[in-house]
Amino acid sequence: MALLTYIEAISKGLWEEMERDESVILLGEDIGKFGGAFKVTKGFLDRFGEERVIDTVLAETAILGAATGAAVVGMRPVAEMQFADFVTTGFSQLVNNTASIHYRWHIPCPMVVRLPSGAGIHGGPFHSRNPEAWFFHQPGFKIVAPSFPHDAKGLIKAAVRDNNPVIYLEHKRLYRHVKGEVPDTDYTIEIGKGVVRREGNDLSIITYGATVHQALETADAMAKEGVSVEVVDLLSLMPLDTELILASVRKTGKALIVHEDNLTGGIGGEIAAIISEKAFEHLDAPVRRLGALDIPTPYSPPLEEFFLPNAKKLTAAARELAAY
């Protein structure tokens, strides 16, 4: 076991996969000598060489197109977007080409797209997006969103080994603020399975990524008021662990769905629909959603905090739902 930060766990998982499999290559802007914008790939160039750690031009369309081409001829590319926001310039490659290759050609497309996502770092509207809902709507992708270092390592290794294109959401605010015990052994975490982070009986908070930590804060606060909150960490957004979601809601009777993405059109709406369709008779209150405001991410720290979901907002929503 080693005590690692979230970002160290991602780096270690990538390093181990490159050691294990020579077909794994990395592509991205400044990932070589510079070590990446957030230093995830620091030292990789010296160990694996420029044929496997490829500094690209500043063109996300080229990065994703090259990764897709490499994947269909037997490589396992991991493409890094410096910020998740920049994936929009390569959207056509991913949605029109990458996602549909298996359906059209009946061949695997084993590639990973690493997306440093999320706000809370005062990055403003061009460096703070949570783009998961765009890809959630497109058949052909798997999508994961780890919240702790243990899962960050296990999921990046599982993503590299998967024969489908995997969108790997890594929240920037967690990079150096979250630490945890990570096994030194080789392990993966199954894509499509979530976990219950905290058992509870009165209310379910269903979430993923950075908001898992806020949900756990809320559970602690609500426990002092005599309310038992269950926290469900999805880990995988596509496929969703619907059985875990439904089992939790059927037990507690109340559901609060939380994500940092803008509320309207977010993944929370789909989860709410699943609960309404398959667990309606178990509900003791309307399904509640909490997300970011439907505006671009503000640069100003006070405005950014007002824009985002946080533990205070979660606790207020949980309190109202518990009292319904």
| Active-site position among 102, 106, 122, 127 | 127
At residue 128, φ and ψ (nearest 5 deg) are -140, 10
Q: What distance in Å separates the CA atoms of residue 48 and residue 61, rounded to the nearest whole number?
A: 25
Rg (the chain; Cα; Å): 19
Contact between 90 and 66 (Cβ < 8 Å): no
| CA pair distance 249, 283, nearest whole angstrom | 7
Residue 252 to residue 247: CA distance in whole angstroms: 9
Q: How far is CA 281 from the centre of its chain?
A: 31
- φ/ψ (deg, to 5) at 213: -70, -35
**Joined tokens for residue 165:** 């294109």
Amino acid at 299: Y
Q: Are 110 and 71 in contact (CB under 8 A)?
A: yes
Length of the chain: 324
Contact partners, residue 16, CB within 8 Å, separation at least 6: 157, 186
Supply angle C-alpha 270, 306, 204, rounded to 5: 40
127 is catalytic: yes
- Fill in the DSSP letter of residue 96: I
Q: How many Å is the maximal CA-CA distance in the chain?
A: 60
The residues, any chain, with a CB within 8 Å of residue 99's CB and separated by 6 or more, are 135, 138, 139, 140, 141, 165
| Calpha distance 320→290 (Å, rounded) | 13
CB 190 within 8 A of CB 233: no
Catalytic sites, residue numbers: 127
